[in-house]
Structure 1
Amino acid sequence: MNNRLFRDAMGKFATGITIVTMDDKGEAIGMTVNAFMSVSLDPKLIAVSIDHKASMYNKLQETKKFGVSILTEHQKDISMIFAKQIEKDKEIAYNQLNQIPVIKDAMVNLACKVTNCIEAGDHMIFIAEVTDLIMNENKQMPVLYFNGQYNYLQSN
């Protein structure tokens, strides 16, 4: 099978959209990540998969700390900016959680500390303990990624 067929098949799995952020010498940097999952309740672990070519790849291995922001339906543009699909046309608003920048008004913000790194093909899976979290009870729906496009849930 070729890469395009595999990529298209994996695109049939709908995912939420997250922004992984970190502090880089006093500057907040981030990237859009949909390869995110909960791993364990005890201890509280999550995992993100980052391409070896990503600009944050080496920095995450060095700092061992990052934030995860689960985006709402109204934050699609933020995802597109961090995915370099559109030019940055506004300042991104951040909050601090355990001295880690996270996206303001996201559905959920997590502060994470890397506990393990696993090489997996052309990606590194960063397993991290969640050290703090904030849930924004704004009753918004998530933005989703399916079949290569952004999508939204409809509330009943």
Structure 2
Amino acid sequence: MDDRQFRTAMGKFSTGVTVIATEVAGEGIHGMTANAFMSVSLDPKLVVISIGEKAKVLNKIKESQTFTVNILSADQQEVSMIFAGQIKDKEVEFDRLDGKPVIPGAVTQIACEVSAEHVEGDHTLFIGKVTDIHIDDEAEPLIFYSGRYRSLLSVQPVTN
């Protein structure tokens, strides 16, 4: 199998869209769009993110030992594109959760401290101990599937 076939196959798994953010003293806030995120454990509360070796934010997370996961809402496609480098010359304002930078309007904001890191292939997996969470129960998530942004469709009850 070639790289394109592998990427296409992985793109058939629909995911939410997140922005991973971190802050380094004297260097400001850094972030990137990612969909490689999952929960790991309920006790203790742990999540994992996967960051590519070429990503600028990789060394920033290693230095700060903290990160946030911002699960974007359906109306935040532009935010995703900014952090993916597809839109230039636009900035995003940040709020704070447990002293860490989070994106306002996200469906969920998760503040973490790095508890472990593992290099696997061309990525580093960061295990994050969750220190705080904020949830917006009203927002719908932004979805990514087969290389395109999507949104959830409301399911209508069946009537006879």
Report if TM-score (shorter chain) is over 0.5.
yes
Q: What secondary structure does 1:78 align onto? A: helix
On the 8 A contact 2:23/2:60 being kept in 1, the answer is no
Deviation at 1:155, TM superposition (A): 1.6
Deviation at 1:4, TM superposition (A): 0.6
Partner Cα separation in structure 1 for residue 13 and residue 66 of structure 2: 28
**Any idea what the Cα deviations from partners look like across 1:60-91, whole Å, max 9, x if unmatched?**
112110111100000010000000112243x3
Aligned position for 1:143: 142
1:65 aligns with 2:43: no
Partner Cα separation in structure 1 for residue 124 and residue 144 of structure 2: 21
Identity of aligned residues (%): 45
Residues 6-155 of structure 1: matches in 2 within 5 Å? 6-26=6-26, 27-89=28-90, 91-137=91-137, 139-155=138-154
Deviation at 1:41, TM superposition (A): 0.3
> Structure 1 segments of 4 or more deviating over 2 A?
none
Deviation at 1:99, TM superposition (A): 1.4
What is the number of equivalent residue pairs in this alignment? 154
Partner Cα separation in structure 2 for residue 132 and residue 88 of structure 1: 31
**Any idea what the Cα deviations from partners look like across 1:88-123, whole Å, max 9, x if unmatched?**
43x312111111100011111111011111111000
Long gaps (5+) in structure 2: 156-160
Partner Cα separation in structure 2 for residue 24 and residue 127 of structure 1: 18
Partner Cα separation in structure 2 for residue 58 and residue 34 of structure 1: 19
Deviation at 1:11, TM superposition (A): 0.4
Counterpart of 2:152, as a letter, is: L
Deviation at 1:136, TM superposition (A): 1.5
Counterpart of 2:114, as a letter, is: V
| TM-score, reference length from structure 2 | 0.92
| TM-score, reference length from structure 1 | 0.95
